[in-house]
Structure 1
Amino acid sequence: MTQPQTTRDIVQKLWNLCNVLKDDGVTYHQYVTELTYLLFLKMAEETGTEDQLPEGYRWADLARRSGLDQLNFYKGLLLHLGTDTGGLIQEIYANAATIIRKPTTLNTLVTAMSNLDWYSAKEEGLGDLYEGLLEKNANEKKSGAGQYFTPRPLIESIVAVMKPTLDDVIQDPAAGTGGFLIAANHDIRRSSDPEGWTEAQQRKYRRDTFYGMELVQDTHRLALMNLLLHGLDYDPQGAGIRLGDTLGSEGEKLPPATLILSNPPFGTKKGGGLPTRTDFTFPTSNKQFAFLQHIYRALKPGGRAAVVLPDNVLFESGIGKQIRADLMDKCNLHTILRLPTGIFYAQGVKTNVLFFTRGKGDRGNTGEVWVYDLRANMPQFGKRTPLTRGHFAEFEAAFGPDPCGGSEALAARTDTGPEGRFRRFTREQIAERGDSLDISWLKDDTASQGDLPEPTVLASSVITELEAALAEMQSILLELGATEEDLEAVGVLA
């Protein structure tokens, strides 16, 4: 979705304000978090929703002050909103602390934000403005923010083929800043008539449609702000993005879903060790495999999922092979999209989207897997060649109209042969490969042109491979009876 010019201009002006904080050693991610504290106050004033804020702790109360008095008031405001308000306000400001040290810095930010063209921003959509800031943050590779920011063209393409509806219960167990849920909401509202929804449909939409979980508190507050500005209500007892660990007991409380859209984090579980979930069949410290188990177990019969996962999930042996076999038993794993390299923060990481549908029973649900190779002979994506929705057009056409990948839809697909991008592999052929799903056939001419990736990209790729190998070693040793204490003692526990 292309942002209107006024929105882009405001995003750039807000982004340029970060230069004011450079001397304080502030990262871009810290800056966006700080902007969120201030933007919430300003946008509440602009949208006439200040009644959700306590009197005396609103934008005008901050803006009319100056100097040290303004900075001290701001610090007290953050503390009060994060502890004494309850609901969404307290969630957004929980444990909030300013990075601003100089009164002149705060005054510069407040004055500049007061002078922006908020009328035009409201006309074009405040949610788009905030998305623009998050995208700017993700594009700054040094901030590391791209680890949780999935490219919007990819999200929009996935949502388009998965066709969310008002009847769905939609979940993202690794929600980040909420991009998948927001795109699904946009698609639902575009493909139906919200004005014609019944009262029961309205109630279901608000309270029992969008669920997510995010582990990192700063990212969680960005997600809450993002959902708010896109018109998604916050229900402390129902739908929304919760702060918690999906791989812990909180994850067991997420309701069963009919549609899961997610890009789980890469690597091993933070701090090492296994997930504390009690309902996983296969214990593993590899976060992608743990999230994959959660996702296919959380689907209702007939529910569908699209999940972004790195290559090692397709080929890792040991417990990885067992999880893939379990996935293909319990679900119809009908499509794999091999994504281009260089579209995420960790550019050396090669990724895929797995599309699957939970079966009515738990055995033999995958009969064939279709692989679409969008990686070979593709451009080097970056600032010079940005990824766009158009790059996914042929894949979307080949995927077909059925989001569940049913037998009739699969029969209508065309295997393009060894020279094409879309090919069919039977479950028997995959079994002969040792249940490896790392399937490629096209010669990648771009890989033989002598253009080596940047050293940081190569290093990132090596680190990812080493983490995958370490996770596999942990799994094997645990299968052989070793304890986590044993692994830690010999330095094998990540």
Structure 2
Amino acid sequence: MARIKKTAQPQTTAQQLGSIVKTSRDIMRKDKGLSGDIDRLPMLTWIMFLKFLDDMEQIREEEAILSGDKFRPAIEAPYRWRDWAAREDGITGDELIAFVNNDEAVRPDGTRGSGLFAYLRGLQGANGGDRRDVIATVFKGTINRMINGYLLRDVINKVNGIHFTSSDEIHTLSHLYESMLKEMRDAAGDAGEFYTPRPVVRFMVEVLDPKLGETILDPACGTGGFLVEAYSHLEKQCNTVEDRKTLQASSIYGGEAKPLPYLLVQMNLLLHGLEYPRIDPDNSLRFPLNEIGDRDRVDVILTNPPFGGEEEKGILNNFPAEMQTSETTLLFLQLIMRKLKRQPRPGRAAVVVPNGTLYEEGIAQRIRGELLTKFNLHTVVRLPKGVFEPYTDIATNLLFFDRSGPSSDVWFYEHPLPERRAHLKGKSYSATDGLQYEEFEPLINWWNNRIENEHAWHISAAELIQGNIDLAQVHPRHSNIVLAAPAVIINGVRKLKDESELLLQKLEATVKGLGNVDAPFVALGELINQRTTTITIQDDVIYRRTRVQLHFRGARVRDVVQGLDIGTKTQTIIRTNDLILSKIDARNGAMAIVTSDLDGAIATNDFPVFEIVSSRVNPAYLRYCLFQPSMLRVYENLSRGSTNRRRLKVDKFLDLKIPLPKEIDAQIEVADRLHAAETLISELADRFGGMNDELADLVGSALHNVFSVARNE
């Protein structure tokens, strides 16, 4: 960001920036076209994107005038931010919506011409591409979802208060933007898209140590975590104008096929200082593997390819017949191996892979064989479970290899849980107590001075090849019996017992505190109504489809797709606090109370949606009545059909009776106490190393036994 200079614009503090973003999101909540942060964040991003571009253009124009050079803006009048957005009393209402959305509209200068998005999508760069190509590609996958032009004007006026003309200000905004990205990941992490925690990204970049002048690629870059960290790593190595030119022009490359992450990675990289991000907007797997030559290869690959997933037949045909698979991770591994440079300096890679990649047979085994015989697979870092919470509890590993191979010794490093969680039998991080970068310090110190220790060991590649090429190795110490002194063990058990006893006393008091509540049984059909609000899917509109996860884990966004790709053209709209369930999997616990971030999403007839009569039942209370493990047998009995396709009968479900306190306040009191009980049970489960059956049934037991009328029926 060396060219960005201080201007007369007032500096925006971190507090002011946070306030601007928060106020903008609050305004967006009033717009009926937006549903949750998964809609609001992209809206805010494209608006900030255009403001950022215009501020940068004005700086470049001033520099060109001072140096006597010609300047051609990427965006011409009257489509620049300063032409249509900068004035608080500028175009608004329906006129603003028409200018943004329509192919042809009245422009801010009063003439007729292309609408804003139509103009931006039609931009073309010169001489092999420039910022205009980036803008065009970004807006080909971007849609304005706001339908109220007055609210849109309010948001634009707020964003106009951010001045992208100061290095300090952009640095502050980049941190704020990262927190916004994390919020969206928490809302949308699904279908194999497990965003890499920042500590893992930073560690992988640190030990791979990209050098200025090398080319760095992430072929599945998502919102750009690896690329941003790599850019920051290289930026520290810049000492001259030429160094900066190298960094800007020929260092950072990525691939991201989904429109929303593509927009987000562009903004993320621009905010961090990369003036022309080179991100491929198509599937990185689309090229035949045998056609990738030396000119396509790179020095460094850092990536976390999607877990699971399926590719279309045309993609699979790009791989040798004996190496075709539906497992996306394995396809990306083959691509990464092919894309690494052979000379003059062998290319190197760091890749996140799920546990199955290390031990599964078939194609996974053949890939491991190639890694050992044709590449130098020098390090496998085994991470504990829970590193990728809340997206998945799948155990993950980090593979480090280069093209200097073949492999000699493979080092394994078993990253330990910190002491604060080491007592857990489950050996897992949690969503609220995740991995910290400082915990990698022993591993980083070991990296360049490798000796066997309690966490690290090595096995010869020859030994691995003679076996089943199994890389899911455990430390040899696990085969030895090492016991602590009896007094240490006894004191540990005593401490655990004392702490658990205090938690049990609190839990007992919480459950007893429910008292006797007048709660006659009421049919579910009197408390919920099946929602019949449907929409007809339009081909050119983007929709969010829901999925309901098993075992009461909630509803989430299944995917974000264009209407053209949706087969069932009539679908149900879901709203906040609706009850949604899966007909097929309700017997396994697939039902949820809809949270606000899913408001306005769609569901097929396989996922019945019910509006809760809030005047009669509190949604949180209803959740405790319906979402107990003991209810699974009830839903099984209410399901009909063949063994593998049993479906919950909705009419039978509506006949189900639950105990219902007559007063809403009483229901809320019960729900609050049960929530407190759940929290205490979770703490106890942590100490016991898992949830035992008695603890799992306790909330349901309390619910069914505290009601005086319920006990008498």
Q: CA deviation at 1:278?
A: 4.7
Which residue of 2 is the match for residue 122 of structure 1?
Answer: 169
In structure 2, relative to structure 1, the CA distance for the partners of 1:146 and 1:114 (3 Å cut) is farther
Q: For the Cα contact (< 8 Å) 1:321–1:435, is it kept in 2? A: yes
Which residue of 1 is the match for residue 75 of structure 2?
Answer: 53
Question: For residues 122 and 159 of structure 2, what CA distance do their matches in structure 1 show?
Answer: 25
> Relative contact order: is structure 1 or structure 2 higher (C-alpha 8 Å, sep ≥ 6)?
1
Does residue 415 of structure 1 match 2:452? yes
Q: For the Cα contact (< 8 Å) 2:248–2:274, is it kept in 1? A: yes
In structure 2, relative to structure 1, the CA distance for the partners of 1:42 and 1:205 (3 Å cut) is closer
Which residue of 1 is the match for residue 404 of structure 2?
Answer: 359
The secondary structure found in structure 1 opposite 2:296 is coil
Q: Which has the larger radius of gyration?
A: 2
Q: For the Cα contact (< 8 Å) 1:280–1:293, is it kept in 2? A: no
Which residue of 2 is the match for residue 469 of structure 1?
Answer: none
Q: For the Cα contact (< 8 Å) 1:370–1:424, is it kept in 2? A: yes
Question: For residues 437 and 458 of structure 1, what CA distance do their matches in structure 2 show?
Answer: 34
The secondary structure found in structure 2 opposite 1:348 is coil
Q: Describe how 1:31-430 pairs up with structure 2 within 5 A.
A: 31-47=40-56, 48=58, 51-60=73-82, 61-63=84-86, 64-75=90-101, 76-84=115-123, 86-116=132-162, 122=169, 124-138=171-185, 140-142=186-188, 144=190, 147=193, 149-190=195-236, 192=237, 194-196=238-240, 199=242, 203-234=245-276, 240-249=278-287, 255-271=296-312, 275-278=316-319, 282-301=323-342, 302-344=346-388, 345-359=390-404, 365-374=406-415, 379=421, 381=429, 384-400=432-448, 412-416=449-453, 420-430=454-464
Q: For the Cα contact (< 8 Å) 1:29–1:145, is it kept in 2? A: no
Q: CA deviation at 1:346?
A: 2.5
In structure 2, relative to structure 1, the CA distance for the partners of 1:8 and 1:390 (3 Å cut) is farther
Which residue of 2 is the match for residue 485 of structure 1?
Answer: none
TM norm structure 1: 0.76
Does residue 29 of structure 1 match 2:38? yes
> 1:50-74 deviations in whole A, cap 9, x for unaligned?
8322211122313522222222222
The code of the aligned residue for 1:298 comes to: K
Which residue of 1 is the match for residue 680 of structure 2?
Answer: none
The code of the aligned residue for 2:39 comes to: Q
Q: CA deviation at 1:352?
A: 0.9
> 1:324-381 deviations in whole A, cap 9, x for unaligned?
1111111111111112333335222211110011126xxxx11211111125567454
Q: For the Cα contact (< 8 Å) 2:349–2:401, is it kept in 1? A: yes
In structure 2, relative to structure 1, the CA distance for the partners of 1:246 and 1:343 (3 Å cut) is same
Cα RMSD for the two superposed structures:
3.5
Question: For residues 194 and 252 of structure 2, what CA distance do their matches in structure 1 show?
Answer: 18
The code of the aligned residue for 1:384 comes to: T
Which residue of 2 is the match for residue 407 of structure 1?
Answer: none
The code of the aligned residue for 2:410 comes to: V
Q: For the Cα contact (< 8 Å) 1:398–1:413, is it kept in 2? A: yes
Question: For residues 259 and 346 of structure 1, what CA distance do their matches in structure 2 show?
Answer: 27
Q: Mind listing any 5+ residue stretches in structure 1 that lack a counterpart?
A: 401-411, 461-494
Residues 327-336 or 381-390, more deviating? 381-390
The secondary structure found in structure 2 opposite 1:249 is coil
Q: For the Cα contact (< 8 Å) 2:13–2:169, is it kept in 1? A: no
In structure 2, relative to structure 1, the CA distance for the partners of 1:37 and 1:261 (3 Å cut) is same
Question: For residues 458 and 439 of structure 1, what CA distance do their matches in structure 2 show?
Answer: 35
Question: For residues 210 and 189 of structure 2, what CA distance do their matches in structure 1 show?
Answer: 32
In structure 2, relative to structure 1, the CA distance for the partners of 1:305 and 1:7 (3 Å cut) is farther
The secondary structure found in structure 2 opposite 1:366 is coil
Q: For the Cα contact (< 8 Å) 1:280–1:294, is it kept in 2? A: no
Q: Mind listing any 5+ residue stretches in structure 2 that lack a counterpart?
A: 1-11, 62-72, 102-114, 125-131, 422-427, 479-488, 490-495, 501-549, 557-713
Question: For residues 269 and 323 of structure 2, what CA distance do their matches in structure 1 show?
Answer: 34
The code of the aligned residue for 1:359 comes to: S
The secondary structure found in structure 2 opposite 1:227 is helix
Q: CA deviation at 1:258?
A: 1.4
Q: For the Cα contact (< 8 Å) 1:212–1:242, is it kept in 2? A: yes
Q: CA deviation at 1:103?
A: 2.2
Residues 330-339 or 340-349, more deviating? 340-349
In structure 2, relative to structure 1, the CA distance for the partners of 1:114 and 1:25 (3 Å cut) is closer
Select the structure that is richer in helix. Answer: 1
In structure 2, relative to structure 1, the CA distance for the partners of 1:13 and 1:203 (3 Å cut) is closer
Q: CA deviation at 1:32?
A: 2.0
Q: CA deviation at 1:111?
A: 2.7
Q: For the Cα contact (< 8 Å) 2:34–2:146, is it kept in 1? A: no
The code of the aligned residue for 2:351 comes to: V
Equivalent pairs: percent with the same residue? 28
Which residue of 1 is the match for residue 107 of structure 2?
Answer: none
Question: For residues 376 and 195 of structure 1, what CA distance do their matches in structure 2 show?
Answer: 39
Which residue of 2 is the match for residue 484 of structure 1?
Answer: none
Question: For residues 266 and 248 of structure 1, what CA distance do their matches in structure 2 show?
Answer: 18
Q: For the Cα contact (< 8 Å) 2:316–2:325, is it kept in 1? A: yes
> 1:298-322 deviations in whole A, cap 9, x for unaligned?
1112211100111110011111111
> 1:400-422 deviations in whole A, cap 9, x for unaligned?
2xxxxxxxxxxx41111xxx221
In structure 2, relative to structure 1, the CA distance for the partners of 1:286 and 1:278 (3 Å cut) is closer
Q: CA deviation at 1:91?
A: 1.8
Q: CA deviation at 1:293?
A: 0.9
The code of the aligned residue for 1:229 comes to: L
Question: For residues 266 and 33 of structure 2, what CA distance do their matches in structure 1 show?
Answer: 27
Question: For residues 254 and 97 of structure 2, what CA distance do their matches in structure 1 show?
Answer: 34
The code of the aligned residue for 1:358 comes to: R
In structure 2, relative to structure 1, the CA distance for the partners of 1:381 and 1:13 (3 Å cut) is farther
Which residue of 2 is the match for residue 408 of structure 1?
Answer: none
The code of the aligned residue for 1:14 comes to: V
Q: For the Cα contact (< 8 Å) 1:27–1:143, is it kept in 2? A: no
Q: CA deviation at 1:148?
A: 5.6
Residues 274-283 or 52-61, more deviating? 274-283
Q: For the Cα contact (< 8 Å) 1:148–1:177, is it kept in 2? A: no
Q: For the Cα contact (< 8 Å) 1:78–1:93, is it kept in 2? A: yes
Q: For the Cα contact (< 8 Å) 2:17–2:173, is it kept in 1? A: no
Which residue of 2 is the match for residue 467 of structure 1?
Answer: none
